[in-house]
Amino acid sequence: MTASRLACLLAGAGLLCACAVAGGGPDGASGQADAADPPVGGNPGSGGRSAGGSSGAAGLGAGGSQTPGVGGTVGGGGTGAGGNRPSDGGSDAATSTGDARGGAGGAAGSPAGTGGTSGASGSHWVGTWGGAPQLTEVANLPPAPLSNSTLRQVVHVSLGGDQIRVRFSNEFGDGPLTINQAHVAVCPASPVDSSIDPTTDRALSFSGRPSITIAQGAAVWSEPLAFSVAALGNLSITIAFGSVPGAVTGHPGSRTTSYQQAGAGNLGAASLAAAQPTDHWYVLSGVDVLAGAGARAVVVLGDSISDGRGSTTNRNDRWPDDLARRVSAGGGPPAAVAVINQGIGGNAVTAGGLGPTALARFSRDVLGQSGARWVILFEGVNDLGGGVGAPAITSAFANLIAQAHAQRLLAYGATITPFGSNAYYTAAHESARQAVNAYIKSGVFDGTIDFDAAVRDSSSPPRLQAAYDSGDGLHLNPAGYQKLADTVDLTLFAR
């Protein structure tokens, strides 16, 4: 691909994102202005593609700090087995409990910091939802500035619990961000909308206060809140903002509508029918539940195919959502399993994609997730479409496997699905895909999920089966995403 670059210096997060790749990748469907998922054969939009996002193989210590671009760090302190969560930029430590990746579960009875009750019973924090944060491109900014506005956002959790905490991120901001108030409530609608059950509305707090100012480049957890959320439930988080920087941290590929209105508003209002809708998430990046000793999380590290391009807005039918439903239905793992979707549209493993690369964000988005035990690595198609060769991709995979093993996580590799009828296709790119898939199936991972075999047809070149194709030859439709979820062997999560 021929690069034409727009530089956007993110002083707080330390990421220098060099933008727009001409003739960009087909990480999205034609005719949709979603810069996180550039249209087929077109430019990725105003924010463009981030360069300098790959930290490479060197210097990626297990759970240590990383330099995802020019300067700055993502992640922070290391994650010791059964120890404290990494600080995600220096602000999580005050609310983290013993993480129990290797099964310790805080058995000693003393949680780290002030954030929970991980005592002798072994209860510990487990991530139940995630939205990997990145810089919000100009095309995906909210309808109006977030400063002095109210924003209601809906997330679909996987694992339920009776205590929660919520993570708010200003990691890519270019100045401090103030939350005046934040509330949580159950969203009873299906498909989800701006409505809440007002009887469930509760206020979050931060060190005993309703408000907090999040420093540039940082992220914070709310204090634990006694709040009952059901497995596979929908949670509304409503935020009244004070001052918000011009560079906004968010997750463009929400596939879920958020609702913004001017002024402080009523955070506990039954609905925000007059608010402006926007199909993106902002500032919100994670939800944890306090779960029993046996509960663990599987983290999906991926691109727009995991982020849900081609799924149905507000219906939560991405393949990780479908996998969470399968796990929750029983008959599989013996313990509670959460599914955390850390897909980013347009993301790449090595370089040239949107958001921090998989290499650069692995510490934050996988090792930094509460209660993580397994990671499914389903990424690489944007590297292939950009002309990255198989050796570079497989070398990066080896690096990520080593990082996972150093933190006692099991790493499962998912084969890259075909794109024979997409603009990404060339004979060389297909040859590289075959080589990467052969590596994935060679035994280097702790387990393999053969998504390629599940959804390809027998044509030459290989392409998606028509019944699973969203229409662009790369992304799947809801039936295709259900097929991916059905392909996962649930006994992988009994290990």
Residue 464, pLDDT score = 98
pTM for this prediction: 0.80
Percent pLDDT > 70 in the chain is 75
Two structure tokens written together for 487: 């392909």
Pick the range with the lowest mean pLDDT from 85-99, 137-151, 157-171: 85-99
pLDDT(79) > 80: no
Across residues 106-114, what is the average pLDDT? 30
Q: Which H or E run includes 373?
A: strand 372-378
Residue 421, pLDDT score = 96
pLDDT(109) > 60: no
pLDDT(275) > 90: yes
Query: Do residues 291 and 340 lie in contact, with contact meaning Cβ atoms separated by under 8 Å?
Result: no
Domain locations in the chain as residue ranges: 133-286, 290-494
Residues 348-383: tens digit of each pLDDT = 999 989 999 999 999 999 999 999 999 999 999 999
Residue 31, pLDDT score = 30
pLDDT(115) > 70: no
pLDDT(22) > 60: no
Across residues 47-74, what is the average pLDDT? 32
Please report which confidence band the pLDDT of residue 121 belongs to, taking 50, 70 and 90 as the band edges.
low
Residue 92, pLDDT score = 36
Residue 335, pLDDT score = 76
How many Å from the N-terminal Cα to the C-terminal Cα in the chain?
A: 41
DSSP classification of residue 364 = I
Sequence-distant (6+) residues with CB within 8 A of 220 are: 91, 92, 95, 167, 168, 206, 212, 214
The residue that leads in pLDDT, 92 or 226, is 226
Q: How many residues does the chain have?
A: 495
Residues 163-211: tens digit of each pLDDT = 999 999 999 999 999 999 999 999 999 999 999 999 999 999 999 999 9
390-406 vs 427-440: helix crossing angle, rounded to 10: 30
Query: Do residues 128 and 289 lie in contact, with contact meaning Cβ atoms separated by under 8 Å?
Result: yes
Residue 265, pLDDT score = 86
Give the closest residue to 119 by CA, choosing from 105, 138, 129, 137.
105
In one letter, which amino acid is 484? L
Per-state percent for the chain, helix, strand, coil, to nearest 5 = 20, 25, 55
Residue 24, pLDDT score = 35
pLDDT(420) > 50: yes
Please report which confidence band the pLDDT of residue 332 belongs to, taking 50, 70 and 90 as the band edges.
low
Residue 235's SS3 state is: strand
pLDDT(111) > 50: no
Residue 91, pLDDT score = 35
Give the closest residue to 327 by CA, choosing from 493, 450, 155.
493
pLDDT(307) > 80: yes
CA angle 45, 365, 58 (to 5 degrees): 90
Superfamily of domain 290-494 in CATH is SGNH hydrolase (3.40.50.1110)
Q: Which H or E run includes 393?
A: helix 390-406
Please report where in the chains the tokens 């347009």 appear, as a residue.
346
Query: Do residues 1 and 24 lie in contact, with contact meaning Cβ atoms separated by under 8 Å?
Result: yes
DSSP classification of residue 12 = T
Across residues 441-447, what is the average pLDDT? 98
Distances (CA, A) of 129 to 2, 132, 167, 411: 36, 10, 10, 19
Distances (CA, A) of 398 to 60, 377, 391, 446, 483: 12, 11, 10, 12, 27
Residues 283-303: tens digit of each pLDDT = 999 999 999 999 999 999 999
Across residues 461-472, what is the average pLDDT? 97
Residue 331, pLDDT score = 60
